[in-house]
Structure 1
């Protein structure tokens, strides 16, 4: 759950900064604003889903506020300094998320975590069957994380090549 509160920050920060740049320079973003804000929303839905499963306590929420506040500001400054680094860093965070969800699946498959019914929010958002389980949710969330990894490494590669994101069409419509 904590990972998802942090994971929702990069797409929002990058999307807002690109939005402001687009407004200042009177130019299109090549779809990158939409792609990055869509990523942030998708990560938020991961959090909303796992909150239904984990039922966080007040101290969990306090920790989220602290961690998110620090990470948001650090990432904002990092993105201003080097979008290339920020996207690469996010790509690596997403790789860690994929690993974590793979381990989660192993725990579910081994029976060490109960494979409860999927929360209604997950069934609606990912259009899962009504009898979907937590395992089904983890599989689609892990696929989302793989997409976020690829998008962010792609964005970093664009910057590494000396180009701007607007010059390469953003990968849209994965959900």
Structure 2
């Protein structure tokens, strides 16, 4: 039931996201098969995409910070170690902020957009704060579903670039911002907008797998399997979050 509620909340958030960023009915894709829909009836423009991405990433950086902060305080109160969760959660938040800073070099939001972000962040932060106090497991599940939506969004964007629906970003001479080259260490010849969004989508896929896995664990006692040191000869069992969209079950990663 908790997983169902988390999924429905993400669907509601997606609906509000579409309305807030001005996505019309003809610009939506088949949400039953979001990653297989190549191009919408009316593709978004580069400007519309930047509005959507900036709004998305300004919100996406909140969950990791809220969860990391609460686990940090919990560790202080209990006078016990956190078993590696805090590091991954804060790294996730930092990574999402780098996505935002990268996209902001391509577009400077106006006062209306900044006001929307301020309001959305206030609501989202407090909602996550309360939900994490009540049920960290369901909150991580919610974030996992949220990251799945991000994967769908970037897949659609990449499809539209490959189809030539975004002429500026489809141009191989249009190079990515320098901040992206430095952060992802993009090699020469791999610095197009398509390459950038492939890296960003890979980040979102990792966050998806991490949060679904954390949701499957015992919140107060299990170690974070993605930063754990494994026994000699079992290095190959170290989980790869990007390759497990639904996350790892507890018995797959605990006790190795």
**Is the structural similarity TM-score above 0.5?**
yes
Give 1:86-165 correspondences, 5 Å limit: 86-113=139-166, 114-115=168-169, 116-131=174-189, 132-158=191-217, 163-164=218-219
Shift of 1:168: 2.2
> Which residue in the other structure is 2:128 paired with?
75
- Which structure has more helix as a fraction of its residues? 1
Unaligned runs of 5+ in 2: 1-53, 229-239, 241-256
Contact 1:8 1:44 in 2 (8 A): yes
Give the direction of change, closer, same or farther, for the CA distance of 1:13–1:170 in structure 2 (3 Å limit). Answer: farther
Aligned counterpart, 1:85: 138
- TM-score w.r.t. the length of structure 1 is 0.91
Question: For 1:76 and 1:61, how far apart are their aligned partners in 2?
Answer: 22
Partners of 1:112 and 1:29 in 2: CA distance: 47
Distance 2:227 2:199 in 1: 17
Measured after TM superposition, the shift of residue 170 of structure 1 is 4.1
**1:13 — aligned with what?**
66
Greater shift in the superposed pair: 130-139 or 2-11: 130-139
Higher RCO (C-alpha 8 Å, min separation 6): 1
4+ residue runs over 2 A deviation: none
Contact 2:85-2:224 within 8 A present in 1 as well: yes
Q: Deviations over 1:15-48 (max 9, x none)?
A: 0000000111111111110100000000000111
Whole-angstrom CA distance in 1 between matches of 2:73 and 2:148: 28
The total of aligned residue pairs comes to 170
**Structure 1: how far apart are the matches of 2:148 and 2:79?**
35
1:49 matched to which residue of 2? 102
| Higher Cα radius of gyration | 2
Q: Equivalents in 1 of 2:184, 2:220: separation in Å?
A: 28
Normalised to the residue count of structure 2, the TM-score between the two structures is 0.63
1:56, 1:146 → 2: CA distance?
27
SS at match of 1:54: coil
Could you tell me how far apart the structure 2 residues matched to 1:172 and 1:125 are? 21
Contact 1:4 1:43 in 2 (8 A): yes
Change (3 A) 1:55 1:133: farther
Which digits, 9 at most, give the CA deviation of each residue in 1:56-80, with x for residues without a partner? Answer: 2222111111111111111111111
